[in-house]
Structures are given as structure tokens and as C-alpha cells.
Chains A and B, each alone.
Chain A
């Protein structure tokens, strides 16, 4: 079965530092997403990305966050200046773009801000 790959699996960073989380989508997928799950809480939508631009974002996705697909393969989530409350599991997901087809999730990147 095709897989979405995320790196790193776990990162510890100091408050105020920049973090980049990476995702390698499934090769023929066109839509990319980031979700986050704070420990003990629900999985929350952050942003969707299509045709090299953001198609939708939630109120969580403020100016501290950015996404890009710089080299046509990796899809990245950057947090500019991390806060303690950014500690969470971040999931990348991708979709082929055909109605009825499945969205595939990566294994997640666990971010701990200290």
C-alpha cells in the first residue's frame, strides 16, 4: 500500500526556535494537508495545499506557520518561533484528488517544545 512519509518522527526544540517538519506525499497525490493533535485532544485541521498554494487554513494556522513544497517532492510545515503550546503530534495527509478515494496519513511527527 502507498505510504506518506514524515520526518522527523520526534523532535525536541527550545521555545522560540524554528522547526521544519517534512512530509513526502504519495507520488500521484495532488492535495496535501497538515493536522495536529495536542496530547489528549482531538485531531485538528491546520491547512490544505493544492497547486502550490494554500487552499484552506484554520484559525490555528496563524502567521507563525507556513507551508511550502520547495522541490516538488517534500511538503513542509514551518513553525517560525515555537511556543510551548505548539507541542503536539503533527500529521501530514495527502489525497489523489479523485472523489471517493482515500486520504492517506503519515505516521506523524511528535514535536516537544521545552
Chain B
């Protein structure tokens, strides 16, 4: 079964502190993993995907196949990072996205 688990519904950190949003997945095969972000009253936007291995807005995520995890990290949080973050997976070529529950990240000044 395809499943994405984000164990934290809410996460609150202070500005300048490190951030880690957890994501674990279940998939038989080689999925493609994504992080989407939704700022207040805006659309879902792709933040990053594991195959590109790039850093967007200071965020990085490493796919750990042994632990079936794809945690999102940022060393120094900024107030504009406050948003809803969704981890998602898809199978190769299928492009149907399976989303986690989402984590609401709040950065306190």
C-alpha cells in the first residue's frame, strides 16, 4: 500500500532555530518523493523533489531508503517559512500523488 505519514500536525520553532519536518513513507518499489508547501491563502507549490537534490529557500531533504524517510530540514528558520507543508510520493511515471496529513509550521519571532 502507498502511504505517507507526517507525525507532527503542528510544529512551532523560533526564528533562527533549526527546523525538521518528518516524513515517512510506505511503498513497494522506488517512489518519487516530494515536499509541497502551501502559504496562507495560496495554492500548493512544489518545494523540492528528491531526484533533483537541490536546496530551495534553504530547505533540503534526503531520501533515506533504509528508514523510508524523507525529512525536510532547514538550519535557520525564517518567519516567512510559516506555512503548511505536505510530503507526497508518486510511483514512477504514474504521477498520481499520495499526500501526508501535512504539518503546519509556525516560526515565532
Question: Which residues on A are within 8 Å of B, measured CB to CB?
Answer: 4, 31, 33, 35, 41-45, 48, 56, 91, 93, 95, 99-100, 102-103, 105-108
State in angstroms the CA–CA spacing of A93 and B43 once bound together.
10
Chain A residue at minimum C-beta to C-beta distance from B101? A42
Q: Sort chain B's interface into a size bin.
A: 10 to 19
Question: Which residues on B are within 8 Å of A, measured CB to CB?
Answer: 36, 42-46, 51, 86, 88, 93-102
The answer to whether A45 touches B45 (Cβ under 8 A) is no
Q: Contact check: which of B42, B97, B102 meets A103 at CB < 8 Å?
A: B97
19 contacts between A and B (CB under 8 A): A4-B43, A33-B96, A35-B97, A41-B101, A42-B100, A42-B101, A42-B102, A43-B97, A45-B96, A45-B97, A45-B98, A48-B95, A56-B94, A105-B43, A105-B44, A105-B45, A106-B43, A107-B42, A107-B43
Tell me, rounded to whole Å, the shortest Cβ–Cβ distance linking A59 to chain B.
13
Q: Which residues of A contact B97 (CB under 8 A)?
A: 35, 43, 45, 93, 103
Q: A41-B101, A91-B44, A105-B36 are in contact. List 12 more A-B contacts (CB 8 A).
A: A43-B86, A43-B88, A45-B97, A45-B98, A91-B43, A99-B93, A103-B46, A103-B95, A105-B43, A105-B44, A107-B43, A108-B43
Tell me, rounded to whole Å, the shortest Cβ–Cβ distance linking B86 to chain A.
6
State in angstroms the CA–CA spacing of A72 and B42 once bound together.
27
The answer to whether A43 touches B44 (Cβ under 8 A) is yes
Tell me, rounded to whole Å, the shortest Cβ–Cβ distance linking B7 to chain A.
13
Q: Across the A-B interface, give the 4 residue pairs with the lowest CB-CB distance, nearest first.
A: A105-B44, A43-B99, A107-B43, A42-B101
Q: Which residues of B contact A105 (CB under 8 A)?
A: 36, 43-45
State in angstroms the CA–CA spacing of A107 and B102 once bound together.
17
Chain A residue at minimum C-beta to C-beta distance from B95? A95
Tell me, rounded to whole Å, the shortest Cβ–Cβ distance linking B27 to chain A.
14
State in angstroms the CA–CA spacing of A82 and B86 once bound together.
28
State in angstroms the CA–CA spacing of A43 and B96 once bound together.
12
State in angstroms the CA–CA spacing of A32 and B45 once bound together.
16
State in angstroms the CA–CA spacing of A93 and B36 once bound together.
13
